[in-house]
Amino acid sequence: MSHRPPRVRVSGMIWHEDKLLLVRQGRPGHPRWMLPGGGVDPGESMTVALARELSEELNCNQVAVAEPCALVESIAPETHSSGRHLIHVVFRVDVPHPETIVVGTPEVEDPAVQEIRWVDRESILKLALHPPIGGYLKDYAPGADLQYFGSLWAP
């Protein structure tokens, strides 16, 4: 199986009261937890794409995209039929009033979003997170250097 061209996915790390905002999305029967975000469209900057995705997934229109924090590649094994190659760029995002983000089962523009939840640091490690960077997120501190993880595949 040959790989498709790489696709860039941007995501936002939003913290509030030492809890991280995560979304559960995916195909029925195969949900995954991830940072809110999505794909970058052709001709779109990563920060504009992230603001658009946060609006679609969280109904959150006032965000300040800060520095990029992590870079992860997800490259499917040769034996996997998807041929996927994703480049995940994680940004720290500041939201003026994060307590106003509606959690639970959302009524948002993106139909893939099944649940939105604030997660404490210890609980991050208990979730099936994609990409699998739970340890990094649990220990994240603002101002840390950009972290490159290389290829971490999670089907």
Element (DSSP H or E) covering residue 85: strand 85-94
Q: What is the mean pLDDT of the chain?
A: 89
Nearest one of 11, 15, 12 to 99, comparing CA atoms? 15
Mean pLDDT confidence for 92-121: 86
Residue with the two structure tokens 């029925």: 28
Query: Residue 21: is its pLDDT beyond 70?
Result: yes
Mean pLDDT confidence for 105-128: 87
Give the pLDDT of residue 106: 72
Look at 155 and 65; give whichever has higher pLDDT: 65
Length of the chain: 155
The token pair at 67 is: 């520095």
**Phi, psi for 83 (deg, rounded to 5):** 65, 20
Confidence of residue 28 (pLDDT cuts 50, 70, 90): low
Characterize 124-142 residue by residue with b for buried, 16 or more Cβ atoms within 10 angstroms of its Cβ, and e for exposed. Answer: beebebbbebbebbeebee
Give the pLDDT of residue 17: 94
Give the pLDDT of residue 126: 93
Give the pLDDT of residue 27: 67
Number of C-beta neighbours around residue 13 at 10 A: 21
Domains of the chain: 7-151 (3.90.79.10)
CA gap 9, 49 in Å, rounded: 9
Give the pLDDT of residue 1: 58
